[in-house]
Amino acid sequence: MPALKNPSWVGAGLTGATGVRGTGFWLCGITDVDLPASHSSLASTVRRRARYIFTPGSERSAIRAATREPEKMKNAQSFSHLFVPCMLAVLVSGQAAAAQPAQQSYPAMAPLSQYLMADRAAEIKLARSAAPAAISDHATVLVLEAHGYVTAVKGTNGYVCMVDRSWSSQLDAPTFWDPKLRGPTCFNPPAARSVLPITFKRTTLALGGQSREEIKKEMAAAFNAGQLPALEPGAMSYMMSKQGFLDDQAGHWMPHLMFYTAGNVNWGADLAGSPVMLNTQFRDGPYPINVLMITVGKWSDGTAAPAM
């Protein structure tokens, strides 16, 4: 059956949360929904803010959500006048809701070989799949080796394409050490100069054996010491590959663009009806950067993507 759940990720910054499961159906636009006492866990879950909801087995069912606190609550088990305009899907069950198993956790780094791709040509191809060929065919392409990213192909247009690994995700994400994660990304020139160095620094620390907490401290020290460049205006990246793997729940998710702005910039992200989503990738670090995502209708190869 469908389940409320928030996958976690890296370039797209999806934040993990536990949802509910049971016999029922998805509703869009709900008013005066009374939940029996057995659904107290659902009441608690709905009150929590969720950005993305996935129905298991299909990223087509990804639905943007902007949950708000119910204006009125009859009691701990009953919601009144809760209305989410076709953005939040709430599971109403005729039987007790059961807790949805959490996103698989990866508490420590796996053996290095699991993060590397033995086939260099395959990694180059995967990196280029992040953006349309008109961009990626002329971009510099990086591949990951034992001590960090190296240039495999020298480009001519200023773009840089690479395959992100799990340590680029939010530092408290359960997938931070997931060795399966592969996030093809193509950075435009301003992002290649001012955002990609954050990835390089994190990669060096991760491959050097630093723990998650040590990485957090080292990144803060580097930022405060001016060792990381200031964000350049116009920085953005493409994540339009359908061959990537963003986490156990999302798979390759949806093709999207990411825009990097100062932390105080307001694009109306996650508001009802807004196509802009806030990626929390850098929210636990010292860098004052917003990552704003907008999904697009086609994969990089031009084929149609599933509707949101």
- Mean pLDDT over 192-202 rounds to 96
CA distances from 27 to 84, 86, 90 (A): 10, 8, 6
> Which tens digit of pLDDT belongs to each residue from 241-298?
999 998 887 777 899 999 999 988 999 999 999 999 999 888 767 788 999 999 999 9
- Mean pLDDT over 165-172 rounds to 92
Residue 45 pLDDT > 50, yes or no? no
Q: CA triplet 184, 105, 66: central angle to 5 degrees? A: 70
- Which of 306 and 80 is assigned the larger pLDDT? 306
Here the tokens at position 68 are 């708000």
Highest mean pLDDT among 31-40, 79-88, 153-162, 246-255: 153-162
Pairing state of beta strands 236-239 and 183-187?
A: antiparallel
> Which tens digit of pLDDT belongs to each residue from 65-123?
333 334 334 343 433 333 333 333 333 333 333 444 355 678 899 999 999 999 999 99
pLDDT of residue 281: 84
Residue 164's SS3 state is strand
Residue entry with tokens 């955002």: 195
pTM of the model: 0.69
Residue 33 pLDDT > 60, yes or no? no
Residue entry with tokens 């939940």: 35
pLDDT of residue 248: 82
Residue 53 pLDDT > 80, yes or no? no
pLDDT of residue 77: 40
Residue 57 pLDDT > 60, yes or no? no
The phi-psi region of residue 52 (left if phi > 0; otherwise alpha if psi is between -120 and 50; otherwise beta) is beta
**Burial class, 125, CB count within 10 angstroms (exposed 0-12 / middle 13-18 / buried 19+):** middle
